[in-house]
């Protein structure tokens, strides 16, 4: 698929989605139904089916009033039998905004009643099923032309093909963002009354997914210029004012692979600018709010360009990627400060992410974990505690 055809397809899908939501109308009252379960006129019913799930994340939603189903053919057969769209929620136990959406909306009896009345709701753990998550993240990009994330909220036809979606939705509309109380009835009404447009959107998304899979599987020769081009592209995204990659005012993610590529390519071809940008980024990471200066390790990303306000979950792939990046920098420069950061990462992983009793390592640390000095979303240090932490006596 060429870039122009991708743009045309994305524009077409977005235009259809906009028309679908506008035509969905205003909020309408839910019809009957009992809380925590739903039934149609034929007597088929839904209950929350997550109590026996293998995933702790899914089991944590077992008491919600939403009649969550586990991913599988039974759920989609139920959607066909009830002739309802599927409400797909994909999240993770480490995802802060997934927990927020759970508390605000999925634990709200009124919103749960709307979902149960007009949809077959399915909840997926993206760590357990990254294949499902990856497929629908690509679909969301086809639908709205932007990146996805978590929680991922998708609306599917009973055959699993998406026709609308988004990420986090508040319970009620805020500014230009529709709330779930408004989204649920609009999507349900559009599915019921505008099947032609729904089918057209679903068909376009199916085509986009098919072309993407064919493009990914297509064989092709690798150019010897590829490492240089990739390193230069990464370097062009460098933020000269605050460090890191990305000069916009939105979120800024850590990019250890880009740093390692810039260091290697810069060293091999003598491109000092690439090396300087990579080292500058590592210096900023080490001293900024993206690093946990108390418990060790690095957070997943910063919500601001200045890298001062982190999003507090910690991922093992971030730690491993930055560990290698700081070791590369130490080998290249001999600067012991890079080795010190690498040791701090190892200390954090060994002390917090390792399972001493059963072996192995944990994949992540939840942003909402509770405990002394570890509830990151609420963390604040008193002056006396900081003095004690630093070993300073007044």
- The whole-number pLDDT of residue 21 equals 52
CATH 3.40.30.10 in the chain, residues?
Answer: 3-217
Contact 361, 316 (CB under 8 A): yes
Fold of domain 3-217 = Glutaredoxin (3.40.30)
CATH 1.50.10.10 in the chain, residues?
Answer: 226-389
DSSP letter string, 85-127 = -EEEEEE-TT-HHHHHHIIIIIT-HHHHHHHHHH-EEEEEETT
- Lowest-pLDDT choice from 227-236, 289-298, 321-330, 334-343: 227-236
What tokens were used for 10?
A: 């994305």
- Integer Cα distance of 316 and 361 in angstroms: 8
- The whole-number pLDDT of residue 5 equals 43
Instruction: Match domain 226-389 to its CATH number in 1.10.3720.10, 3.90.550.10, 3.30.450.20, 1.50.10.10.
Output: 1.50.10.10
- The whole-number pLDDT of residue 34 equals 33
- The whole-number pLDDT of residue 386 equals 67
- Read off the pLDDT of residues 46-105 as tens digits, 9 standing for 90 and up: 999 999 999 999 999 999 999 999 999 999 999 999 999 999 999 999 999 999 999 999
- Read off the pLDDT of residues 11-47 as tens digits, 9 standing for 90 and up: 444 544 554 554 443 333 333 333 334 545 444 679 9
Q: Which residue has the higher pLDDT, 366 or 265?
A: 265
Q: Where are the alpha helices (DSSP H) in the chain?
A: 3-23, 56-59, 73-82, 96-101, 109-118, 130-144, 180-193, 195-217, 226-236, 256-269, 272-287, 316-333, 336-348, 383-389
pTM (two decimals) = 0.80
The DSSP letter of residue 349 is: I
- Read off the pLDDT of residues 123-182 as tens digits, 9 standing for 90 and up: 999 999 999 999 999 999 988 887 789 999 999 999 999 999 999 999 999 988 899 999
- Read off the pLDDT of residues 324-338 as tens digits, 9 standing for 90 and up: 999 999 999 999 999
Report the mean per-residue pLDDT for the chain. Answer: 85
Q: Which residue has the higher pLDDT, 32 or 195?
A: 195
Helix or strand run (H / E) with residue 315: strand 314-315
């Amino acid at each position: 698929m060429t870039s122009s055809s991708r743009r045309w397809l994305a524009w077409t899908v977005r235009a259809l989605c906009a028309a679908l939501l506008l035509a969905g109308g205003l909020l309408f009252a839910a019809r009957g139904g009992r809380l925590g379960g739903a039934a149609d006129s034929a007597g088929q019913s839904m209950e929350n089916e997550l109590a026996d799930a293998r995933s702790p994340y899914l089991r944590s939603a077992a008491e919600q009033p939403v009649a969550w189903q586990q991913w599988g053919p039974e759920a989609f057969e139920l959607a066909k039998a009830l002739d309802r769209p599927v409400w797909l929620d994909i999240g993770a136990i480490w995802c802060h905004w997934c927990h927020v959406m759970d508390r605000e909306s999925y634990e709200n009896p009124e919103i749960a009643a709307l979902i149960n009345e007009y949809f077959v709701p399915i909840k997926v753990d993206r760590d357990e099923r990254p294949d499902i998550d990856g497929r629908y993240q690509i679909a969301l990009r086809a639908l709205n032309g932007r990146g996805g994330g978590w929680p991922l909220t998708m609306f599917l036809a009973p055959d699993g093909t998406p026709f609308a979606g988004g990420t986090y939705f508040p319970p009620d509309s805020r500014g230009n963002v529709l709330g779930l109380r408004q989204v649920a009835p609009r999507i349900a009404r559009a599915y019921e009354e505008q099947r032609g447009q729904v089918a057209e959107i679903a068909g376009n998304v199916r085509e986009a997914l098919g072309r993407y899979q064919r493009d990914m599987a297509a064989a092709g020769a690798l150019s010897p210029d590829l490492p240089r081009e990739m390193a230069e592209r990464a370097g062009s995204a460098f933020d000269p004012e605050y460090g890191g990659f990305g000069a916009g005012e939105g979120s800024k993610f850590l990019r250890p692979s880009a740093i390692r590529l810039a260091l290697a390519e810069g060293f091999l071809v003598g491109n000092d600018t690439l090396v300087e940008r990579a080292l500058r980024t590592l210096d900023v990471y080490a001293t900024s709010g993206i690093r946990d200066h108390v418990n060790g390790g690095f957070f997943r990303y910063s919500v601001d360009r200045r890298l001062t306000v982190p999003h507090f979950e910690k991922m093992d792939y971030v730690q491993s990627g930055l560990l290698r990046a700081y070791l590369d920098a130490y080998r290249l420069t001999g600067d012991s400060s890079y080795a010190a950061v690498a040791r701090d990462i190892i200390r954090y992983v060994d002390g917090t992410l390792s399972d001493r009793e059963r072996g192995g390592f944990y994949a992540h640390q939840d942003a909402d974990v509770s405990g002394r000095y570890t509830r990151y979303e609420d963390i604040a240090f008193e002056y006396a505690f900081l003095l004690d932490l630093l070993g300073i006596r007044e």
